[in-house]
Structure 1
């Protein structure tokens, strides 16, 4: 599920990036967004390679990657809002970028909650291992406690 989510987001982001390459050829000021878009393209490529790789990304790694992608999107949305008129940025591009940013934020929230759950479960497993391996019960419970007296007399 995590890899499918990453692939979906990466595909949507790649579509936005294709539009962006020719949209900002005006002035040096208007070209500043290219740095943000290139960084976004690199992050998407990293997400795509993780999706297609045999070594899958951990939830913590995916959370960190989508955190960077979200920060990148926030920077891009802010820049587009400030320079939309001056740089003649098309409404379709601005709206598409903003929509993509909202989608990435939602995905990041889901991935990071999975990462938090995984971290919590790992901590619980470590604590159980340090406390004698979970109590030693037959079904993972606390096991039997107390003493057991052997019957006296003829057996």
Structure 2
């Protein structure tokens, strides 16, 4: 996880090179790239919060899936923007390559996190079903229900 953060942060540092380029300030297309990179930086901060700066070994897969899904969406938009505006906004080839590698890693992490989240949801669903079955009368519930374990005595004269 720290490996991806270092690469993404390096990519953002390289992004600073073209942020100050004269063409960047002149084009609304270049400003759009700045928005994409800022959003990406915010998403990376969310990833850092999930890992508590690399201190947490356990990460909630559902939260990670959500953040990485947004990161992958942002990465796809970023790659498209970089390809479309490479010359006009003076985007360095090194940044494009680094961004592309980070995007691939984000996709892998998303797959792992969302897969784990799906397994957790399935396990929780099964546990809930078993709990409901257990509350329906134990063995009697498993045998079709209807048995309550009590016997009523008819009232009146025998």
TM over 0.5: yes
- Aligned residues: CA RMSD: 2.4
Query: Which residue is equivalent to 1:61?
Result: 63
Partner Cα separation in structure 2 for residue 78 and residue 42 of structure 1: 19
- The answer to whether the aligner puts 1:11 opposite 2:13 as a matched pair is no
State the distance in 2 between where 1:12 and 1:118 align: 30
More helix by share: 2
Partner SS, residue 88 of structure 1: coil
Highest CA radius of gyration, 1 or 2? 2
Residue 153 of structure 2 is matched in structure 1 by none
Find runs of 4+ consecutive structure 1 residues off by over 6 angstroms.
Answer: 53-56
Q: Which runs of 5+ in 2 are unaligned?
A: 143-158
1:119-155 deviation digits (Å, cap 9, x = unpaired): 100101001000116x969xxxx8xxxxxxxxxxxxx
The question of whether the paired residues in 1 share the 8 Å contact of 2:69 and 2:110 is answered with yes
Equivalent positions of 1:94-113 (< 5 A) are 94-113=96-115
Deviations 1:46-104 (A, max 9, x none): 11122117886521111000000000000000001111122221111111111111111
Instruction: Give the length in aligned residue pairs.
Output: 133
Using the TM superposition, name which of 59-68 and 46-55 deviates more: 46-55
Residue of structure 1 equivalent to 2:35: 35
**2:59, 2:105 → 1: CA distance?**
20
Say which SS state the counterpart of residue 131 (structure 1) adopts. Answer: helix
- Please identify, of 90-99 and 66-75, the stretch whose mean Cα deviation from structure 2 is larger: 90-99
Given the alignment, which residue of 134, 142, 145 partners 1:132? 134
Cα offsets for 1:2-58 (capped at 9, x unmatched): xxx3x3322321121111123133223323211010110011011112211788652
TM-score (norm 2): 0.75
Q: Which moved more, 1:74-83 or 1:56-65?
A: 56-65
Residue matched to 2:44: 44
Cα distance between partner residues in 2 of 1:102 and 1:46: 19
